[in-house]
Amino acid sequence: MGLMYTALFHSVWLISIQFEIIASTVSWYLPAGVRFAAFMLLPLRSWPMLLFSEKLTHFVLFQPGGILDNTAFLSGSLGWYLVHLLLSPALLCTSVYIFRRCFKAPYISNINSTLATLGVGLIISVVLGAVFIGRRAIELQTDITVFFPLLFDFSLGDFVGLIVLCPLLFVLYDREHLHRVNTTLYWIIGAWLFLLLLSSYAYSHGTNISYQVKYLAVFPALFLSYRYAVTGSALSCLLVGVTAFVVAIQSDLSPLEHQFYIIALCVSCLILGASVNHVSKWVASD
């Protein structure tokens, strides 16, 4: 389990880096979603091995002189070891443990649990961001006027990665919500992806329809959430993220605008999907 987790974690890290180096694209840190879903869903007894596998792989890859080491990471310092070995695992495990004492899986099946899950995800993003960016700020003696914008960008990138990937991982883990899947769902997803391909093809031939594609995506996202409840909202979150990425490549808008587009639409879809699921269960039990 630890090996599978760390393989997925670092694989999507490489994907996230590819997204971030493209000019004007949206930043989304997908490993944050993998980490959050793993600690929210897997048994508590698996946590030590998850942390051991993740940190061991991290140190092998990012230690001074490692394959993926970068001078911007300031790896090898006392603060680097302290943050990765002690502070970030302690803060993550404490936050998730407290949350799991109050809420049980599935976490996006009703409005209360959905809002609570989004809330704790945002808190963890900010807290871990403060630890990681704070360590670098102390070592580089960064001015506080620079620190807070960096913290905002870092936390937002974490939360975007979380909200894009986590709902789908929740649904795949809890197979209860997959029974409503049918061919109509696949047709809608196929049409959505075809529209994105059409947009990329048009852009390569000098026609930019990214603005229209970005806002047309609102309708299938909301319809999937209404028609397929939790499953539809989870798929919508992933497709909204892909849409924002494709559109970002074709536009000069700031990454911040794309990030808020993802967050606003995904939160709407998750709340709608949770509401439909809650009402459906209430009607069935009445």
- What do you get for the CA distance between the two ends of the chain, in Å? 40
Report the C-alpha gap between 36 and 39 in whole angstroms: 5
Residues 6+ apart with CB under 8 A from 145: none
| Cα-based distances in Å from 257 to 105, 143, 252, 254 | 32, 26, 10, 6
Name 132's Cβ contacts closer than 8 Å, sequence gap at least 6: 83, 88, 154
74 contacts 80 by C-beta, under 8 angstroms:
yes
What is the pLDDT tens value at each position of the chain, 286 positions in all? 888 888 888 888 777 776 665 555 557 788 899 999 999 999 999 999 999 998 888 888 888 877 777 776 777 788 888 988 899 999 999 999 999 998 887 788 889 999 999 999 999 999 999 998 888 888 888 888 888 888 888 888 899 999 999 999 998 887 766 666 678 888 999 999 999 999 989 988 888 888 888 888 999 999 999 998 899 999 999 999 999 888 888 887 788 888 899 999 999 999 999 999 888 777 666 5
Identify whether the C-beta of residue 202 lies closer than 8 Å to the C-beta of residue 209.
yes
Provide the CB-side half-sphere exposure for 91 (13 A, CA).
19
Residues in the chain: 286
CB 191 within 8 A of CB 217: no
CATH 1.10.1760: which residues of the chain? 2-171
Give 2-171's CATH code, choosing from 1.10.540, 3.30.70, 1.10.1760, 1.10.287: 1.10.1760
Among candidate residues 9, 33, 29, 10, the one with its CA nearest the CA of residue 20:
29
- The one-character DSSP state at 77 is S
